[in-house]
């Protein structure tokens, strides 16, 4: 162990002993010093000569879910009563972030343990800040498309993202991204393997041949950190954010297989956020145009709309409501629209912090989910608590505890 590390550890031990011997009024300050010494001990390890830092953290989301439906998949010969409830560890994430050499070169690597307890790589990227306005990112990261997806799992207004986001999200991809950020505008442009292609080889058949994504944002009233979540704490000034994004890609030539059609895909979105003193409002629309190369195969145009808002009724309690609307192409098998209404409550254990939060919401899936092949494709395999049902609407109650560490 290097001499610097030894001195830091000894200092930390001395402070810990002093904290046990001192009175309660001094312990908070002593705890801060101890935390600082431990942080320096971490930085004084293998990267000390480069002046680098490493931080380890993560979060967990634990749920109790209740679903009520009329026509379970078991039918008359099955044993499903139409009411299903149970517990699940929806997300358990471990994250490692830090800098190398100085603050200009940073990195992030995180792994998620899914509901089956299996770990999978999520983000794995480096980021180099060229100057005060420009930065380059490379690796595996979220494409800059839907704002609802770009807001982290622990900073959502509801228990989880909407059905619209589930259907239209791009998730993570592998590629390069350039970001320009000033006081009021921000642009992100990426070239990648295409939507939802994390953890794939360069010649995977699931990847796009060429994928381009761009997102433009303009804000007013506050700094960019204000829009890292959808919540607006009490005693905040008015602020707003406008966003627009597009994505184009061609699919079918990379590791082409006979069963994989070639097509071009264009997706676009507009969104607007308005936040005030203890209240927030968000509106977004998204469209997707898919154009197959094969003769006689029709193109499709699908759309989605999302509107949500929240208001604090006390310093720690926030009420919210949400409506989202899926509009499938008229040429799809089953072209009925799909609506979801939700209301809920957030309780923040620490003021103005998502570190410990209890969330409860009730969702009403207004339409039968298998009436169009968009929503039918996500039943029983999503975090919306939407289950197989061919006759009527559904109700889902979700209770969630979030801890960020």
The pLDDT assigned to 78 comes to 58
The pLDDT assigned to 62 comes to 97
Question: Would the CA dihedral through 32, 37, 40, 45 be positive or negative?
Answer: negative
Sorted by sequence, the CB contacts under 8 Å of residue 43 that are 6+ apart come out as 51, 52, 53, 54
**Tens of pLDDT along 169-223?**
999 999 999 999 999 999 999 999 999 999 999 988 888 899 999 999 999 999 9
Mean per-residue pLDDT, 235-245? 97
The pLDDT assigned to 13 comes to 39
pLDDT > 70 in the chain, percent: 83
Please name the residue ranges forming H helices in 52-185: 147-150, 163-168
In sequence order, what are the beta bridge partners of 343? 321, 362
Mark residue 330 as left, alpha or beta (left: phi above 0; alpha: psi -120 to 50; beta: remaining). alpha
Q: Record the tokens describing residue 195, joined without a space.
A: 């939507």
Task: Please state whether beta strands 394-404 and 172-181 pair in parallel, antiparallel, or not at all (unpaired).
Answer: unpaired
Mean per-residue pLDDT, 29-58? 60
145 — pLDDT class (breaks 50, 70, 90): very high
Mark residue 252 as left, alpha or beta (left: phi above 0; alpha: psi -120 to 50; beta: remaining). left
**Tens of pLDDT along 391-404?**
779 999 999 999 99
Mean per-residue pLDDT, 155-160? 98
Q: Say if residues 226 and 237 touch (Cβ distance below 8 Å).
A: no
Q: Is residue 17 pLDDT above 60, yes or no?
A: no
> What is the DSSP annotation of 164-186?
HHHHH---EEEEEEEEEE-SSEE
Q: Say if residues 125 and 106 touch (Cβ distance below 8 Å).
A: no
Mean pLDDT of the chain: 86
298 — pLDDT class (breaks 50, 70, 90): confident
CA pair distance 337, 330, nearest whole angstrom: 10
H/E stretch holding 112: strand 102-113
The pLDDT assigned to 334 comes to 75
More confident residue, 310 or 102: 310
Mean per-residue pLDDT, 296-312? 93
Closest by CA to 233, choosing from 157, 142, 172, 296, is: 157
Least confident of 33-42, 60-69, 226-235, 373-382: 33-42
Between vectors from CA 359 to CA 353 and to CA 364, what angle results, nearest 5°?
140
The pLDDT assigned to 21 comes to 38
- pTM for the full model? 0.85
Sorted by sequence, the CB contacts under 8 Å of residue 250 that are 6+ apart come out as 208, 209, 210, 262, 263, 264, 265
73 — pLDDT class (breaks 50, 70, 90): low
CA pair distance 305, 327, nearest whole angstrom: 8
Mean per-residue pLDDT, 109-134? 95
More confident residue, 378 or 252: 378
CA pair distance 119, 115, nearest whole angstrom: 10
Q: Is residue 387 pLDDT above 50, yes or no?
A: yes
Q: Say if residues 123 and 140 touch (Cβ distance below 8 Å).
A: yes
SS3 56: strand
Q: Record the tokens describing residue 371, joined without a space.
A: 């009436």
5 — pLDDT class (breaks 50, 70, 90): very low
The pLDDT assigned to 37 comes to 45
The pLDDT assigned to 8 comes to 36
Q: How many residues does the chain have?
A: 405
The pLDDT assigned to 255 comes to 62
Burial of 328 (0-12, 13-18, 19+ CB in 10 A): buried
More confident residue, 255 or 109: 109
Q: Record the tokens describing residue 12, joined without a space.
A: 């930390």
Least confident of 138-152, 264-278, 322-336, 338-352: 322-336
Listed by start position, the domains of the chain span 1-45, 54-404
SS (H, E, C) 104-156: EEEEEEEEEECCCCCEEEEEEEEEEECCCCEEEEEEEEECCCCHHHHCCHHHC
Q: Say if residues 329 and 373 touch (Cβ distance below 8 Å).
A: no
Least confident of 2-11, 322-331, 359-368, 376-385: 2-11
Q: Say if residues 164 and 305 touch (Cβ distance below 8 Å).
A: yes
Closest by CA to 141, choosing from 190, 203, 96, 207, is: 190
Mean per-residue pLDDT, 345-357? 97
Q: Say if residues 2 and 40 touch (Cβ distance below 8 Å).
A: no
Q: Say if residues 114 and 93 touch (Cβ distance below 8 Å).
A: no
Between vectors from CA 378 to CA 372 and to CA 380, what angle results, nearest 5°?
120
CA pair distance 195, 289, nearest whole angstrom: 14
CA pair distance 292, 290, nearest whole angstrom: 7
Domain 54-404: give its CATH code: 2.40.160.10
CA pair distance 92, 192, nearest whole angstrom: 27
């Amino acid at each position: 162990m290097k001499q610097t590390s030894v001195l830091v550890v000894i200092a930390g031990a001395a402070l810990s002993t002093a904290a046990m011997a001192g009175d309660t009024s001094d312990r908070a300050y002593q705890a801060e010093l101890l935390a600082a010494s431990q942080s320096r001990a971490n930085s004084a390890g293998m990267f000390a000569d480069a002046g680098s830092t490493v931080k380890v953290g993560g979060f967990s989301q634990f749920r109790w879910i209740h679903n009520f439906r009329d026509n379970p998949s078991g039918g008359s010969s099955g044993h499903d009563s139409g009411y299903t409830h149970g517990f699940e560890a929806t997300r358990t994430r471990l994250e490692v972030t830090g800098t190398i050499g100085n603050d200009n070169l940073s990195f992030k690597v995180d792994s998620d343990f899914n509901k089956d307890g299996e770990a999978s790589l999520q983000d794995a990227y480096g980021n180099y800040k060229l100057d005060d306005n420009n930065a380059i990112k490379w690796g595996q990261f979220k494409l800059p498309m839907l704002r609802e997806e770009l807001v982290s799992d622990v900073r959502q207004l509801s228990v989880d993202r909407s059905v619209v986001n589930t259907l239209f999200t791009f998730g993570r991809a592998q590629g390069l991204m350039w970001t320009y950020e000033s006081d009021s505008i921000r642009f992100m442009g990426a070239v990648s393997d295409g939507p939802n292609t994390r953890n794939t080889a360069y010649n995977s058949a699931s990847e796009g041949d060429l994928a381009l994504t761009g997102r433009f944002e303009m804000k007013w009233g506050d700094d960019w950190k204000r829009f890292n979540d959808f919540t607006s704490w009490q005693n905040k000034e008015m602020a707003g954010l406008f966003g627009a994004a597009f994505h184009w890609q061609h699919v079918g030539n990379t590791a082409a297989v006979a069963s994989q059609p070639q097509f071009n895909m264009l997706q676009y979105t507009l969104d607007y956020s308005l936040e005030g003193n203890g209240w927030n409002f968000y509106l977004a629309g998204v469209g997707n145009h898919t154009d197959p190369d094969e003769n006689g195969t029709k193109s499709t145009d699908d759309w989605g709309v999302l509107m949500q808002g929240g208001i604090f009724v006390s310093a720690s309690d926030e009420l919210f409501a949400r409506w989202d609307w899926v509009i499938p192409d008229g040429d799809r098998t089953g072209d009925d629209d799909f609506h979801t209404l939700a209301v809920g409550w957030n309780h923040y254990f620490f003021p103005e912090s998502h570190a410990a939060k209890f969330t409860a919401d009730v969702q009403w899936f207004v339409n039968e989910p298998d009436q169009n092949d968009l929503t039918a494709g996500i039943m029983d395999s999503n975090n919306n608590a939407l289950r197989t049902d061919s006759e009527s609407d559904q109700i889902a109650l979700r209770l969630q505890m979030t801890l960020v560490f």
